[in-house]
A = this chain, B = another copy of it.
Amino acid sequence: MIDKTQLLADLQLIRNQSPLVHNITNYVVMNNTANALLAIGASPVMAHSVDEVEEMIAIASSLVINIGTLSHDWVTAMIIAGKVAHQKGIPIILDPVGAGATSYRTQTCLLLIEECKPTIIRGNASEITALVKNGSRTKGVDSLASSDSALSSAKLLAKHSGAIVVISGAVDYCTDGEKVVEVHNGSPMMTKVTGLGCTATAIIGAFAAIQKNSLLAAAHAMAVMGIAGELAAAKAKGPGTMQLNFLDELYTLSEAEINKHLKTKN
């Protein structure tokens, strides 16, 4: 169960410290995730050139890798930055956008997991399941029965990779392979705005920058996303107003709102 006091303390730390979150992310969501990181109180930086990622990650407090519009040079930079982050103990959050849709996406994610040892991986059910199925095919590790749930995939991926795994959806599951924290906040309207999944990953980056317990960092981030999403949807007339309301709610999110709306389970 998420402790409200601890969640609030983390949120306050982000707002006070403005940790630098280095993003190597996709073109579609760069603006949104930068704005969401600013709204929560963090400092975003986007940098993807092989000529600077090593230097940039060294001054950052976390690294967000998102493969949404991947291509060769970007993947090279992701691996360089990820390796440096891993060596320096800087938390790495991986968003395997579209894993399973093309083999390039799936294989790139497996390579990033292998080479960079991400701290936290966040995806939807089909992305996480694709990583488990393809990872096990390649490596002969525990494989998934077809009857298994997405949560089983998340647990398996967590065990294989050593990462905290988050599956976001109507219910968000955060797991270290054994323990599971469920977040029951959110709104279906969130699926009508592009990149709110990617934004969740970036917000996890903000929490991981100030919270060493990665399971808590992930769960706190998903709770904040979900509550801000609910509040924004209640005032939205459609996905256009939803997108901007969401940033306003992230920015103004209060103790009273968290206390009133938080719904979690573990």
Question: Which residues of A line the B interface, CB within 8 A?
Answer: 26-32, 34-35, 38-39, 44-52, 55-56, 59, 68-73, 98, 101-105, 191-195, 236-241, 243-252
Contacts and interface: CB of A to CB of B under 8 A. Distances in A.
A47 B68 CA distance: 8
Given A56-B101, A192-B251, A35 B239 contact: yes
A237 to B, nearest CB: 5
Given A34-B195, A47-B102, A71-B73, 17 more contacts: A27-B27, A31-B31, A34-B194, A38-B239, A39-B192, A39-B238, A45-B98, A48-B71, A51-B71, A55-B101, A236-B248, A237-B248, A238-B248, A240-B244, A241-B248, A243-B244, A244-B244
Contacts of A244: 240-241, 243-244
Contact of A247 (B27, B39, B59, B240): B240
A95 to B, nearest CB: 14
Contact of A252 (B68, B191, B237): B237
B104 A35 contact: no
A104 B51 contact: yes
A113 to B, nearest CB: 18
B69 A48 contact: yes
Contacts of A249: 238
Nearest to A248: B238
A28 B31 contact: yes
Contacts of A59: 101
A46 B69 contact: yes
A49 to B, nearest CB: 4
Q: Which 7 A-B pairs have the closest CB atoms?
A: A238-B248, A240-B244, A240-B247, A34-B194, A52-B104, A238-B251, A49-B71
A46 B30 CA distance: 14
A47 B35 contact: no
Nearest to A28: B30
